[in-house]
Each structure stands twice: as C-alpha cells, then as structure tokens.
Structure 1
Amino acid sequence: MNDLHTDHPDAVSSPGLALWRVTNAWQRRIRTALAPHDLTHVQYVLLASLTWMDRTEPVTQRDLARHAGLDVMMTSQVVRALEAKGFVVRERHPTDRRAVALEPTPSGTGLANRATRDVEAADHAYFAGMDPSIAEAFLTGLRGLAARVDDED
C-alpha cells in the first residue's frame, strides 16, 4: 500500500510518467549519437535549426529560439558557445541595432549535416520497433501537443 494520492491505478497508467521514461531513454541515445561530434543536444538543435532555416533575411537569436522552441537567454548562451567553437558567426543585424544576426560557418554546416545523419540513425533505431500505423498516430499526437504548447507561448 502506498500513500500517493493519484488518479492512476499504477505507474504504467500515467501518460506523463510514460512520456518521461521514453524521453529519457531517447535522449540517452541522442547524447550517445552526438558525443563523437562534441555537441550537446541543445547545441545540435540550435546548429541544425540555424542551418535548416531560410536565411534570405537575417536570422536573429529570437528567431532561432522561437524556431527551436527554446528560451532566448539559453539560446544566446549556447550560440556563444557555438561561436567559440567556430560553428556560428554572430554579426550586427543590418536594420535592428539591438539584434544580432546569426549565420552558420561552413564548418558549422558540415558538422550539422554529419551530426544529423547520426541523430536520424539513432531515431530510426529507437523507433524501429513501432508498427508504422502506431508510429504515424504517435507523431500526430506529438504534433497536436506541440501545437498546444506553441499556442500557450
């Protein structure tokens, strides 16, 4: 008998706990995939996002943070670390003196592409056991949750 007052009859009935367990297991795999690239998961997400984004207009740290779903201050700190490693260039924004424009360096773009291959291989291996129809429903559910989070911000 336990003293926890919960709506769930057992631990495996809690969607939040299930998400926690799955997320932690998946993140361990991603960290392992990124280790040879000397990137943290957050560094990878920001570098890959910046490489992915349309840069016909200058990309600000705020734009990058919004795209990646991260805090602007954290984004600023991580971008500085990526700049120190030579993977990102931070320059004055051409029209907004308060903003910084971001651009991946050629070595940053190359690293983002190499790391993406390993991250996607880890994703494929992790989710390989899911039935394709369940995987599609799972992705649809995640997109729905992400849209709700985006609406709250």
Structure 2
Amino acid sequence: MHKEIDFQFKRPEDSPGYLLGQLTQLWQRNQKKVLDPLNLTSTQFVLLAALGWLSKKSDAVTQIDIANQSNSDRMMVSKVLRTLQEKKFISRREHPTDTRAKVIQLTEAGANVLQEALAAIERSDIDFFSSLGDKLPVFNQKMAYLIKQNKEE
C-alpha cells in the first residue's frame, strides 16, 4: 500500500509556483521562436540587453555589472559572454582603472542583432500578455514586487 501524498493545494491551478512554472515555459517557448532566427538564446539576449542598457550610462561596463543587472550567476555570465565574443557580438578590452576587470562593449554586429531582437521580443511580449489588457500594469507591479522581496543581495 502506498502512502497517501498530502498536497497543500487542492488542484495544481491553486499553486502559484505551478502556475508561474507553466506560464514561464510557455513564455520561454515564445522567446525561443523569436530568437532562434537571430542565432541567440534567451540567456544571450538577456545579457546583450543588460549590456545595451548599462552602456547607455557607462563606457566601462564589466562582467559583474552585467551579472548584477541581469540577476545572473557570474560564472554563467562569463561563459555566455565568451560565446557572444565568439559570435562577434561583443568585444572585451582592458578596464582603465581595474586591472582584474574587462570592459565589455557591443560590437556593431552586436548592436544590430540586439536592436532586431529587442523589436521582435517586444512585439512577442505585447502579443503574449495582450489578454491581460488594462490589468497588465498591475501584473507588472506585482511581479516587480515579488522580485524585489525575493532577490538575494
């Protein structure tokens, strides 16, 4: 005889974690469809977007800056940046003041693919979340709140 498993939630649809997981998988599938033709993974796009955003404010963006901006693991960021460098989407040069750090910059090809990816991803997001209508701002606020409450410093 098997032990009865006791679930706190009566149905999977009552579990916020289950719902978030399902929604994330659907959203990631959408992202993949949009990014595959651009030869980018979702992670590569996130790091390029973080670099693009940070580059608007600084000429000396580092790997640590990108990891912090994207809320990503530093070792993973290092590996993905190497791949982006191999694709000629980014370049690395010596940091002017920190000998341990490299300055990461978008190349022209990287800026072009990022601009194309941003437009495609934004269209995809608008379509994906369109059924929320005027509830989208509240949905975004609640997601931002959960990120802030659960982010490890």
TM-score (norm 1): 0.93
Moved over 3 A (4+): none
Distance 2:4 2:21 in 1: 22
Alignment of 1:85-104 (within 5 A): 85-104=87-106
Q: CA deviation at 1:10?
A: 1.0
Alignment of 1:15-26 (within 5 A): 15-26=16-27
SS at match of 1:136: helix
Equivalent position of 1:48 in the other structure: 49
Alignment of 1:113-124 (within 5 A): 113-124=115-126
| Stretches of structure 2 lacking an aligned partner (at least 5 in a row) | none
Distance 1:3 1:93 in 2: 59
Equivalent position of 1:78 in the other structure: 80
Q: CA deviation at 1:136?
A: 1.7
> In angstroms, what is the RMSD of aligned CA positions?
1.3
Is residue 108 from structure 1 mapped to residue 110 from structure 2 by the alignment? yes
SS at match of 1:123: helix
Distance 1:46 1:70 in 2: 9
Deviations 1:9-60 (A, max 9, x none): 1111000000000010000000100011000000011111111213534111
Number of positions where the alignment pairs a residue of Structure 1 with one of Structure 2: 150
> Amino acid of the residue matched to residue 143 of structure 2?
L
Q: CA deviation at 1:131?
A: 2.9
- Which sits farther off after the overlay, 49-58 or 119-128? 49-58
Equivalent position of 1:11 in the other structure: 12
> Amino acid of the residue matched to residue 29 of structure 1?
N
Q: Report sequence identity in percent.
A: 33
Distance 2:76 2:115 in 1: 23
| Stretches of structure 1 lacking an aligned partner (at least 5 in a row) | none
TM-score (norm 2): 0.93
> Amino acid of the residue matched to residue 122 of structure 1?
S
